[in-house]
Amino acid sequence: MIVWLRSAHRNVLVRNNMIYPGVVSSYGAHSGVSFTGNRENTDPSLVHPSNFDFRLLAGSQAIRAGLPLAEVNVDFAGVARPRGELYDVGAYQYTRITAPSAPTGIAVK
């Protein structure tokens, strides 16, 4: 992730981002930019990002790693935030993805 700033930008804070692959950096030297709390080279383990499915897989480092933001009380799918004590990073709170149950009462003749 590259942060591109003009010389007029001051007091810019880039924080709490999860970047994969890569690191957060600023193009050029800017005295008014601070970087803090970013998780660099951290795979968020998304379901299928190339198909725009940004839900979290079990074991994702984004689970329970978010910050509490009062103005973000539901995720992109309308699921209440947080689920449990801590928020998840990203557009979606983690919800266990389970396979459908096998049908019962079916006989092959």
Give the DSSP letter string of the chain. Answer: -EE---TT--SEEEES-B-SSS--EESS--TTEEEES-BTT----EEEGGGTEEEEPTT-TTTT-PPP-TT--B-TTS-BS-SSSSPPSSSS------PPPPP-S----
Count, residues in the chain:
109
Give the per-residue pLDDT at 3: 62
> How far is residue 64's CA from residue 24's CA, in Å, rounded to a whole number?
22
Give the per-residue pLDDT at 44: 93
Give the per-residue pLDDT at 10: 72
Give the domain ranges of the chain: 2-42, 43-97
Stretches where the chain sits below pLDDT 70 are 1-9, 26-31, 97-100
Residues 43/18, Cβ–Cβ less than 8 Å: no
